[in-house]
């Protein structure tokens, strides 16, 4: 295994050039938010969509054959398709600071490239209370290299993972050549992150086994589809995330990272990639770290595979951490309330 250890913060902000910010509202009428992964100087970017019900913006521009080669942020948001408006605020924040694809001789003439994906959390708040452009702007304004909050923050504020509260999770790993790979994910899955037969995550992170009484309670809860004020239907769900590395990659190589990261999603959530899910993973490469061998040269595919394997690993771990960090909202309980002996 090429991954040696978690990064300094064990978060996506360990990747050089990456900033993270969140903005959310959580009260009796609101339970939603927006998360922004900023790469203001630009990063090679790609996306992989596996769920049957995605809500996305600016994904076509990430095709390796298209003109623009670098993105400047990825926005993850609640609010279903309405929440895509949060990307407008991120664009405004970046443009005010001169970050974007240049389209004129004036340095201010830029178009920030801001792909986005949304999750379905509308039942968790009053109808009409969903992220808008101001949420995206505020998330960007809060972005820094120290952001490692998890659980009920940003796009994870109103998230539900199976029968338990979902949320934001993050993790990172350092490879043997010093390359860093990190992930940020908002877990709002139809499938479960916790095996109800054992009370432990499907993806093993070394947690102790919960007590038998806790497992029995979890089995009773299995099959119930909770909502903010009690069991209600959730017709669509979606887990959305970003994996990032400081390795020097192009868009096509980033695509391989995004594809592999979806394997991590499937390891941590069962079932995954359903028609009611919009599972979407973006990949970013800031290019501030190690270079790969030239494409096709000896060792090139091996190094790319090592980065891809690390991406799957950190995304899976971030998914588990999201659920472990989440706190109950209304009648939606959390993992650590249902299984109090099962803590990271």
| Domains (range + CATH), the chain | 3-338 (3.60.70.12)
**CA within 13 Å, CB half, 129:** 18
Per-residue pLDDT at 342 exceeds 80: no
Per-residue pLDDT at 45 exceeds 70: yes
Q: Are 279 and 238 contacting, i.e. CB atoms less than 8 angstroms apart?
A: yes
Q: Are 74 and 118 contacting, i.e. CB atoms less than 8 angstroms apart?
A: no
Work out the pLDDT band at 230, boundaries 50, 70, 90.
very low
pLDDT of residue 291: 95
The mean pLDDT value for 235-243 works out to 90
Tens digit of each residue's pLDDT (9 = 90 or more) over 262-303: 999 999 999 999 998 999 999 999 999 999 999 989 999 999
Per-residue pLDDT at 108 exceeds 60: yes
* DSSP single-letter state for residue 143: -
Q: Are 37 and 184 contacting, i.e. CB atoms less than 8 angstroms apart?
A: yes
* DSSP single-letter state for residue 9: S
Percent of the chain residues past pLDDT 90, beyond the cut: 86
Percent of the chain residues past pLDDT 70, beyond the cut: 94
pLDDT of residue 235: 66
Work out the pLDDT band at 237, boundaries 50, 70, 90.
confident
Q: Are 323 and 168 contacting, i.e. CB atoms less than 8 angstroms apart?
A: no
Give pTM, 2 decimals. Answer: 0.96
Tens digit of each residue's pLDDT (9 = 90 or more) over 183-212: 999 999 999 999 999 999 999 999 988 988
């Amino acid at each position: 295994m090429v991954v040696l250890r978690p990064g300094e913060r064990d978060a996506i902000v360990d990747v050089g050039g990456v900033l993270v910010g969140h903005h959310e509202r959580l009260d009796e009428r609101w339970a939603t938010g927006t998360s922004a992964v900023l790469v203001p100087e630009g990063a090679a970017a790609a996306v992989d969509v596996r769920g049957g019900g995605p809500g996305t913006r600016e994904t076509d521009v990430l095709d390796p054959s298209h003109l623009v080669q670098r993105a400047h942020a990825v926005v993850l948001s609640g609010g279903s398709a309405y929440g895509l408006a949060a990307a407008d605020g991120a664009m405004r924040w970046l443009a005010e600071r001169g970050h974007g694809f240049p389209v004129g001789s004036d340095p201010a003439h830029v178009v920030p490239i801001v792909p986005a994906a949304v999750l379905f959390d509308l039942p968790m708040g009053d109808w009409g209370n969903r992220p808008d452009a101001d949420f995206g702007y505020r998330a960007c304004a809060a972005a820094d290299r120290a952001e490692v909050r998890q659980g009920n923050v940003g796009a994870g504020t109103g998230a539900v993972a199976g029968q338990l509260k979902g949320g934001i999770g993050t993790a990172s790993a350092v490879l043997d050549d010093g390359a860093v790979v990190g992930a940020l994910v908002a877990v709002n899955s139809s499938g479960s992150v916790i095996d109800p037969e054992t009370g432990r995550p499907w993806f093993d992170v070394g947690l102790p086994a919960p007590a038998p009484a806790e497992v029995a309670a979890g089995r009773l809860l299995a099959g119930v589809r909770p909502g903010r004020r009690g069991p209600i239907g959730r017709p669509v769900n979606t887990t959305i995330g970003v994996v990032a590395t400081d390795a020097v990659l192009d868009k096509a190589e980033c695509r391989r990272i995004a594809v592999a990261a979806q394997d991590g999603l499937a390891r941590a959530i069962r079932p995954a990639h359903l028609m009611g899910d919009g599972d979407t993973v973006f990949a970013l490469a800031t290019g501030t770290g190690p270079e790969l061998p030239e494409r096709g040269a000896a060792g090139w595919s091996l190094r790319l595979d090592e980065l891809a394997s690390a991406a799957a690993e950190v995304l899976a771990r971030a998914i588990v951490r999201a659920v472990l960090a989440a706190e109950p909202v209304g009648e939606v309980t959390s993992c650590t309330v249902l299984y109090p002996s099962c803590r990271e």
